[in-house]
Structure 1
Amino acid sequence: MIRATINRTKSGSIQSFTISGHAGFAAHGSDIVCAGVSTISIGTVNSIIGLTGVTPDIEQGADGFLRCEIPDNLPVETQEKIQLLLESMVITLQSMEKDYGKYIKLTFKQ
């Protein structure tokens, strides 16, 4: 199962997210759930970098591990753009969880 944890600040902003695991929906190379989550999460990170010029603290590892943390003290306009991209990622992952809940689980922490 893929586990995605979204970490929010007390004010509700997304500070970081972590994704790990494999869906197990299909054989390696044919797993649409793994491919979808990878595309969504890496696409979000690439969009943050490409559209805002901000490079988050990123860590990647084995078993589908990805951690992304947004830097503190960004200008308000930049932070708003990043939050829009991150909230879009969350909505898309929630849609996947709704359809493929046996293979992906989202958790929210504050």
Structure 2
Amino acid sequence: MIDVTLFQNDSGDYVGFRMTGHAEYAEYGSDIVCAAVSVLVINTINSVEKFTDDEFNSAVHEEKDIVLFGIKSEKVSESAKLLLNSLVLGLEGIQAEYGKKYIKIRKKRKQEV
């Protein structure tokens, strides 16, 4: 199962995430749930880097199947908010389509990445 923890600031804005695991929807190389989640996550990180001035930390630990991302500042730009909201929309859509058996999403207050 993919486990996604979304971090929010005191205003409720998304400021980061931690993703671990594999969906195990299908065999390695054919798992469309893993592929979809991976594309959303990687595209979000790349988009925040390219289209915003927000400073962030990110890390990928392939051997542990972990991706971490967090905006450094307390103030999140409107562009980064939109990109992170889009990520959440996509993840929730995947969960609605394929079920909680393959992707678990939870929300927590901000944690340093």
TM-score (norm 1): 0.90
Aligned to 2:82: 84
* Residue 55 of structure 1, CA deviation: 4.7
Give the % identical residues: 36
* Residue 54 of structure 1, CA deviation: 3.7
Aligned to 2:43: 43
SS in structure 1 at match of 2:18: strand
In terms of mean alpha carbon deviation, does 51-60 or 84-93 score higher?
51-60
What root-mean-square deviation, in Å, do the aligned CA atoms of Structure 1 and Structure 2 show? Answer: 1.4
Unaligned segments of structure 2, at least 5 residues: none
Q: Partners of 1:109 and 1:90 in 2: how far apart?
A: 13
* Residue 4 of structure 1, CA deviation: 0.5
Q: Partners of 2:93 and 2:46 in 1: how far apart?
A: 21
Q: Partners of 2:16 and 2:50 in 1: how far apart?
A: 18
Answer whether contact 1:22 1:63 (CA < 8 A) is retained. no
TM-score (norm 2): 0.88
Aligned to 1:19: 19
Aligned to 1:68: 69
* Residue 64 of structure 1, CA deviation: 2.9
Unaligned segments of structure 1, at least 5 residues: none
